[in-house]
Structure formats: structure tokens, C-alpha cells
Chain A
Amino acid sequence: MAISEEQNLDLEVESAEDQSIGNLVEQTRAFAPMDLGGAVHAFFSEHAGAEGVVILDGTAPAGLVMRNDFYQKIGSLFGRDLFINRPIKLIMNAHPLVVDVSVDIATIGIIAMNRPHDQLYDLVLITENEKFAGVVSVKRFMIDLSKKREIQIKLLKKQKESLHLANEAEILHRKQIEEKSLELSKKNESIKNLMDNAGQGFLSFGPDIVVSGEYSLECVQIFRVPVGGKSFLELMAKHVSPDGLTVMSQVFESVFTSDKSLREKVYLSLLPTEFSIYDKAVSIAYKIIQHGGRKNMMLILTDITEKKKLETRMTQERNNVKMVAKALTKQADVNLAIEEFRAFVRDEAKAFVEAASDPRAALAEIFRQVHTFKGDFAQLGLYNTAANLHVLEDKLAAMSARENAPGREELAGTAAGWDAQALLQEDVNILTDILGKSFFEKDERFQVSAETVLGIEAQARALPDSPEREGILTALRGLRLCSLKGILDEYRDYLQTLADRLGKPVEPFYVSGDDVLVEKEAYQKFIKSLVHVFRNMIDHGIETPEERLAAGKRELGLIQCQIEQCGDEVRLAVSDDGRGIDAAKVLRIAESKGLLSPEQAKNMSVEEVYGLLFRDSFSTKDEVSALSGRGVGLSAVKAEVERLGGAIEVDSKPGHGSKFKFRLPLS
């Protein structure tokens, strides 16, 4: 767009916006309320362009007569007679729209346009200082508005065009920047490669401790200033304590003045090697270089921030593993400690303050409590909480070291400000993440899958070897393992009941031998299946008390369990002192079930015959027995034993009893 057009537009815009109604106000003919209709009619006839006339009462607006309205009324039946010779005030609109000249055009427009249909195009009366000043024609008003719109639209179009141009320029710029960026990053890559492979900052100085002009760029990255020409001690002053700085300065001096290499070495070993410089962790190695007759000290600075972060993360992870593993095996302790701590923060701390005769004593007591809790949590592995409590401890220590002891109110205020939840939050989150929320619910047994426990065990095994690690591993194993003896003991009552029900009372079931620990999950099913063996013994093995007495045995039957650990195998022997297994009967039943031919039956050894008992669907259920006669029993046992990778053997002596011998691998 040419400049002059632009300027014109701007001017137009200005003047359009400049227009207050002042500029739109026109003058009209005014009449008095008592003037006759005829006079108005005469005026309208002579002035064909007049839209309407105003009726004034002195200088105040009294009404409005629009041409159309006037002739409509006059033209009606009898209208002429009625109105021509009577005061105009009878026809006039006594409530025209009147606004002060200060009201802006837009507002007037809105009000005017919201008038009833028949008044929409009526003139608007304008007053200034309460005195009638003129009228604004709606028609002219609308035209004016439209003109303004047109200008605005032109302006918008112009702006849009400039924006478009600007946008295109922007896009072009962006492309150029991107290209340059790419170039730069390629260059950077190669430089970075070089520097990364050097990876270290080098600088050197002589006895004056002023860094020489040749140093590597990494130093600038570390110290953020060009280091050449600066005193090394000054550079380090911001990052080392005054004492540390003194030591360094003394050592440097000694090194430069000493003449024996061993001394130099000893002095150098006294210099600190790890520093925190701004946001980086830096390790520094010191070397002595002889330059002709001059001694120089060269420093090799390495940014180990990442390495330290990694170390911190690893330590954190190790601590988390320890925490989870400990919590797993000490759920009750952890929950108790948390509860007690919460109660302390909530109630007891305050109570101490109120009850104590001397605020100092209360402070000491609270300090002791916090200290104890800190120790407890540390012991339980909740290291974040312990750390938070350490901070609290420091604050309390600072308080009690003050000259003027804190008063009761201050103490109470401090204690009230403690948030137990916040102090525990980090550790609670970690435990919840891995062990689930149920860990913290006291009344429910906390459930965790064997998989989770194995996972935690694996992580714990990855911890560095230490007595602590061994303790954790043992406790975790304890979760997974259980005592075989313990499990078998649990059957005692069941067997008593069963025996009684079957009319074959027995002595209390007796488990003896080694207390072997076995994998709970793996052995669960096997142990359950042992029930079949017991039932079998009671049902088929043990005789009735009468039979027993007749056979010279004790009235009550005896069922025993013996456990032996042999290497990585556990041997379990379950025996009864009943009538033993009738091999002939077993053979008969097997034959009748078609499990073997008479030929095979003849050639079977005793052990093989017993083995038949474990065949699927074999059951001497032909003997009356609702309890054990499902034909599945012993084969289930065999299946479980084989699943565990073990073996069964059966021994029997007719008249004396039978023995089931199990051999099971331990891991």
C-alpha cells in the first residue's frame, strides 16, 4: 500500500473516532406546545426535507413530531378537523429519546436501535447543560456508522497484510536460524568430541600461585571465568572454607620450597581432592613438574558431577532396597514406629510442654524423643525419615544452645508446626509403591506375592557384602521358607478328628527329626496331598481298637513322621503301626481293574505291587469308605512328589504297619 493512502486512512480513522455526537447534531425548527397543528403542517409543506420538528418548552425539550407520524394522524378520519386547529402538544410524542451531548455515539446508537418499532427512526434530541442543543438523525447516524465500519475494515485488511508479510519474513528468519543452528551443532559435536576425550581441565602455576596463560577450556566451564593470570587461591576462595584455603596455601608454599621428593609427595597428599565448584563436583589431581630449574604445579581438574549423581542414585537405590527388604520382614515394627511417632507429634510433644515445670526440661525431653525416633527409623531402614528427624534435631539443638531459653509458647508453637505425615512421606511413598497400600493397614494381614519377595531378594543380593546384607537375606528367606515340621504339626488336630470319626482312635501324631526349612509355595501342594496318605493310613492301615488289642498291640494306633536332611535332600518318612498293606489284595484289585494281566501280576516284586497303589484311579474303595475312597488320593501324592522332583517308596510289613518314604530336593 502506498504511503499516502496509508496516511489518509489513518486520518480518516482519526476523524471518524474523533466524531462525538457533537458533530452529528443538527438544528431543526422548534415549536411551542400550544402552537397549532396547522403551523406544523405549513412548515412540513414548505420544507420537504424536514424529517421532524422539536417541541420545546422554553429551552427544555417537551416533545417530538416526526413528519410521517404527523401526517398519519392528520390523515385519519376526522384527523384534519381534530388536530389542525388544536395545539400540537396533543399529537406530539411527549417522550422522545433525549441524551446529553457528552454521551458517545455507540451508546446512543444502541439505545436508539432498541426503541420500539415505530420509533426506530425518530430523531434523537440532544441537550447540552440541560438545554436543548439540536437533534441527531438516526439515518445520518447509521450512514456515519457504516462509514466508520468501512474504515475499520480497511484498516484491518491493511494490518492483516503487514502481518502476513511479517510472518513470511519470520519464517524465512527461522529457517536461516535453523540452518545456522545445525551448522553450529555439527561444529560443536566435533569440538565436543575432542574436549570430551580430553574431558579434563588443565592449569598450572608456579610459586606465585598465578595460573599461567595456557590452560584448557574445561577450566573456564568449571570456574566460569577466564582463569589465566588469576591467583588459584582466589579462584577457589568462593568454594572452599577459609580454613581449607589456609591449608592449601600453606601446603603450596611448602611444596615449592621443599627440595626432597618424598616431602613433596607427603605435602601433596595433604591437599583435598574433591571440591564443589558452583554446580559441579570436581576432582583435582596435583602434579609437580620441573621446568628447567623451575618448579611448577599442574592441576588436573575432572568434572565428576555425573559420576557423583550416579553414585548418589545408586546409594539411594541401595537404601531403598534395604528399606523395602527390612519392611517386608518387620511390618509390625515399622507400623508401630510410625504410629508412635504420629502420636508423639500429634499429642505428646504438646503435653510435655504443658506439663513440664521448666521449658528447658521439656525441650530436653522432646529432643531425646526425637533422637530416639531417629534411631528407630534408621534401624528400620526408613532413612529419609531419619534424615528429616536429624534436621529437626539440629533445630532443637540450636534452640537449646541459645542464650535466652525458648519459652513455653515458643516451644508449643514449634511442636505444633511439625507435620508427621510430611516427615514420613518419602519413605511411605517408596514402601507403598513396591509393597502396596495394604502394608500400612494394621488389621489386615499384609499380602505380597512370592514374585515380589523374590525380586526384592535378588536386589538385596546385589547389595555390597556386609553383615547387614546377610541379615536382610536371611530374614527374606524366612518369609519364603517354612519349617516342614511346623506344617506337619498343624495336622495333628485334623488327624485326631478324622481318626475318631472313623472309629480308629490314634495317639497324638508325632513329628520328629531335623527342623528342615522348605519353600512354602513349592511345598504347599505336596503337604496338602499328604492328607491322602494320612487318611489312607487311618482308614485302611490302622485296625479297630478291638482288632488291635486282639493282635497284642496298644489300643490307640500310632502314626509317626520323621524328617531327615541329607545334603540338599529332605527325607520324610510317614509310618503307621497298623495292619500293613495286603499285597495280594492290591494285585487282585489291579487285575480286576484291568491294570495288569495275570502274567504281569505273577512277576511283580513287592515294591512294584505297592507302587500300584499310586496309579490313577486305583483305590481300594471297594472297602467301605466315604472319606478316602475317591480313587484319586495317592496318585495325587505321587504327582506332587514328582512335580517337586522327588521320589516315593513304600515299605510294609503285614501285621506291623506301613511306611511311606519321600525324598525331596531342597532348592
Chain B
Amino acid sequence: MAKILIVDDSIVSRNNLKNILLGASHEVVGEAVDGEDGLEKYLALRPDLVTMDITMPKLNGIECLKEILSRDPQARVMMISALGQGAKILEAVNSGARHYITKPFETDKVLEAVTELMRE
């Protein structure tokens, strides 16, 4: 039962993800609406895991990822992308993201990714 921070500028996406996670008894400790907000909340809440949308205003997902990792190299960050963002995901993974899921969300895939990440 992980403590998870959701970072996504779309409220629909946040709700979707939240429902999936809560359904598997994970705890959603916070929601952020952009990269800046995400960084702040991470530092404040120190969740077990962060889901990070790639395209966001202010600070985008990859930059936020880097910021978090520079302060907490052990951070578990899972990128969220739309279809066809392969190159961006590669960049994120190369920068330290541990996993990724694609939209539209498939419940089992999401939960599997969370479990795998938490095992590390």
C-alpha cells in the first residue's frame, strides 16, 4: 500500500488514476497540477512513489523529474505519457525515471507497474 503523489495538469486524468489506485488500496497523499507544484508537494509529502505526466505547463514532467532526483536520488518516479511519445519516455528513463505507463489507463497495467516499482 504505497503512498502516491499524482502530478498531472488534467483533472480528468488525475481522477482516473486516483480511482484506479484507491481501488487497490493505495493511498493518494497528494495531487499536483504542474511541475512546480509537483516539486513542492514532493518535498513536503515525501511519497513512496510519484506519477508524473510528461506534458505540463510551468515545469514539464522531465524537468520536474530531474529536479526531484537531484534532491532525492532514490525517488521512485513513474512517467505518464500519451501514445507516440517514445522518444520523450526514453529521455525520461535515461534521466532516471523508473517506469512508465501510457494513457488511456489500463487498470492492470497501472497496478502492475506500481507493484514492480515498489519492489525495488
A266 touching B86 in the complex, CB below 8 Å, given contacts A250-B94, A254-B94, A260-B120: no
Residue A416 CB within 8 A of the other chain: no
Q: Are A270 and B117 in contact (CB under 8 A)?
A: no
Chain B positions within 8 Å of A243 at CB level: 87
Q: Are B116 and A270 in contact (CB under 8 A)?
A: no
Q: Which of B61-120 contact A (CB under 8 A)?
A: 86-87, 89-90, 93-94, 98-100, 116-117, 119-120
Chain B positions within 8 Å of A267 at CB level: 93
Closest residue of chain B to A251 (Cβ to Cβ) is: B90
Chain B positions within 8 Å of A140 at CB level: none
A270 touching B99 in the complex, CB below 8 Å, given contacts A250-B94, A262-B120: no
Interface size class of A (residues with CB under 8 A): 10 to 19
A270 touching B98 in the complex, CB below 8 Å, given contacts A260-B120, A262-B116: no
Residue A263 CB within 8 A of the other chain: yes
Give B76 Cβ to nearest chain A Cβ, in Å: 10
Chain A positions within 8 Å of B99 at CB level: 262, 266
Beta-carbon contacts of A235-257 to B below 8 Å, as 1s and 0s? 00000000100010011001000
Q: Are B98 and A262 in contact (CB under 8 A)?
A: yes
Of the candidates B86, B99, B116, the one having the most CB atoms from chain A within 10 angstroms of its own CB is B86
Chain A positions within 8 Å of B100 at CB level: 266
Q: Are A263 and B93 in contact (CB under 8 A)?
A: yes
| Bound complex: CA A440 to CA B60 (Å) | 56
Beta-carbon contacts of B13-29 to A below 8 Å, as 1s and 0s? 00000000000000000
Q: Are A266 and B87 in contact (CB under 8 A)?
A: no
Q: Are A247 and B86 in contact (CB under 8 A)?
A: yes
Q: Are B120 and A270 in contact (CB under 8 A)?
A: no
| Bound complex: CA A266 to CA B102 (Å) | 12
The interface on chain B, measured as residues whose beta carbon lies within 8 A of the other chain's beta carbons, has a size of: 13
Of the candidates B89, B93, B120, the one having the most CB atoms from chain A within 10 angstroms of its own CB is B93
Give B106 Cβ to nearest chain A Cβ, in Å: 14
Give A14 Cβ to nearest chain B Cβ, in Å: 80
A254 touching B93 in the complex, CB below 8 Å, given contacts A262-B98, A262-B120, A266-B100: yes
Q: Of A247, A251, A254, A263, which is within 8 A of B98 by CB?
A: A263
Q: Are A247 and B120 in contact (CB under 8 A)?
A: no
Give A247 Cβ to nearest chain B Cβ, in Å: 6
Q: Are B94 and A270 in contact (CB under 8 A)?
A: no
Give B57 Cβ to nearest chain A Cβ, in Å: 26
Chain A positions within 8 Å of B117 at CB level: 262
Give B43 Cβ to nearest chain A Cβ, in Å: 25
Q: Which of A267-305 contact B (CB under 8 A)?
A: 267, 270
Closest residue of chain B to A260 (Cβ to Cβ) is: B120
Chain A positions within 8 Å of B116 at CB level: 262, 265
Chain A positions within 8 Å of B119 at CB level: 262
Q: Are B94 and A247 in contact (CB under 8 A)?
A: no
| Bound complex: CA A251 to CA B93 (Å) | 10
Q: Are B98 and A266 in contact (CB under 8 A)?
A: yes
Give A542 Cβ to nearest chain B Cβ, in Å: 68
| Bound complex: CA A247 to CA B119 (Å) | 28
| Bound complex: CA A265 to CA B100 (Å) | 11
Q: Are B93 and A247 in contact (CB under 8 A)?
A: no
Closest residue of chain A to B119 (Cβ to Cβ) is: A262
Closest residue of chain B to A271 (Cβ to Cβ) is: B86
Residues of A whose CB lies within 8 Å of any CB of B are 243, 247, 250-251, 254, 260, 262-263, 265-267, 270
Residues of B whose CB lies within 8 Å of any CB of A are 86-87, 89-90, 93-94, 98-100, 116-117, 119-120
Given contacts A247-B90, A266-B99, 12 further A-B contacts (CB under 8 A): A250-B90, A251-B90, A254-B90, A254-B93, A262-B99, A262-B116, A262-B117, A262-B119, A263-B93, A263-B98, A267-B93, A270-B90
Could you name 8 residue pairs across A and B whose Cβ atoms are closer than 8 Å?
A: A250-B94, A251-B90, A254-B90, A262-B98, A262-B99, A262-B117, A266-B98, A270-B86
